[in-house]
């Protein structure tokens, strides 16, 4: 009797404003960060992990919109934790690794540092152990995370390769029409 062939890796790209959790050993999550922050959470007993990618920690002035807006860490941290709990994780066993929060463009202020502060403070308030962080600085990062094992690889992107300006308006020659049927 032949053993089943190993399953091929499943790569999930975590985009800005997303949070995903998985216990599938074939899954590898990946994201690229500038001033955004990604949190990788892992429960070593349940072998469940997840990643989020947020643009800002919370809106200025404590607006309630952060509770339902995917751009904000306040919302995405809760989504990630709840997804993991639904898959058998326990909050008291969660371990966190934080990445990103780079200050790539001095003209934009210290947005990355503010995101890093938010992430650290959220973990502290929620009683989640921070196992590691690679935050702030002036470089972008690529993070690859295997949620079922908790393994993470973070590569820094050379400052010369990282974008330093926000894109301007979309060039008119790239704007396409929509055909309805």
Confidence of residue 60 (pLDDT cuts 50, 70, 90): confident
Catalytic residue (choose from 36, 104, 111, 123): 36
User: pLDDT tens for residues 4-21?
Assistant: 455 678 999 999 999 999
pLDDT at residue 85 greater than cutoff 90:
yes
Q: Find out whether 26 and 9 touch, Cβ atoms under 8 Å.
A: yes
Q: What is the mean pLDDT of the chain?
A: 85
Residue 6: the pLDDT is 56
Residue 176: the pLDDT is 43
Extract the tokens encoding 113: 């540092």
d(CA 103, CA 140): 9
Every domain of the chain and the residues it spans: 10-158
Sign, CA torsion 152/153/154/157 = negative
List, in sequence order, every residue forming a beta bridge with 49; answer none if it has no partner: 22, 42
Q: Find out whether 117 and 56 touch, Cβ atoms under 8 Å.
A: no
| DSSP designation for 162 | S
Task: Please report where in the chains the tokens 């709840």 appear, as a residue.
Answer: 82
- Average pLDDT for residues 118-127, to the nearest whole number? 98
The closest alpha carbon to 49, from 18, 76, 84, 9, belongs to 84
Residue 107: the pLDDT is 81
Residue 175: the pLDDT is 44
Is 154 a residue of the active site?
no
pLDDT at residue 181 greater than cutoff 50:
no
**CATH number of this structure's domain 10-158:** 3.30.1330.200
pTM over cut 0.85: no
Tell me how crowded residue 91 is: count the other CB atoms within 10 A of its CB: 14
d(CA 131, CA 97): 6
9: left (phi over 0), alpha (psi -120 to 50) or beta: beta
């Amino acid at each position: 009797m032949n053993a089943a062939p190993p399953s091929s890796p499943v790569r999930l790209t975590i985009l800005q404003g997303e949070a995903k959790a998985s216990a599938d050993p074939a899954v590898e999550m990946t994201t690229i960060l500038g001033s955004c922050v990604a949190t990788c959470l892992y429960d070593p007993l349940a072998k469940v992990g997840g990643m989020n990618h947020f643009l800002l920690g919370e809106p200025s002035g404590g607006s309630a919109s952060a509770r339902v807006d995917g751009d904000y860490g306040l919302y995405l941290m809760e989504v990630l934790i709840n997804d993991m709990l639904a898959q058998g994780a326990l909050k008291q066993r969660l371990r966190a690794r934080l990445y990103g929060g780079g200050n790539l463009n001095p003209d934009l202020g210290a947005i990355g540092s503010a995101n890093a502060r938010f992430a650290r403070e959220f973990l502290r308030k929620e009683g989640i152990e921070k196992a590691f962080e690679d935050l702030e600085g002036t470089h972008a990062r690529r993070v690859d995370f295997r949620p079922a094992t908790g393994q993470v690889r973070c590569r820094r992107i050379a400052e010369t390769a990282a974008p330093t300006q926000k894109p301007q308006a979309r060039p008119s020659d790239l704007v396409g029409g929509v055909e309805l049927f």
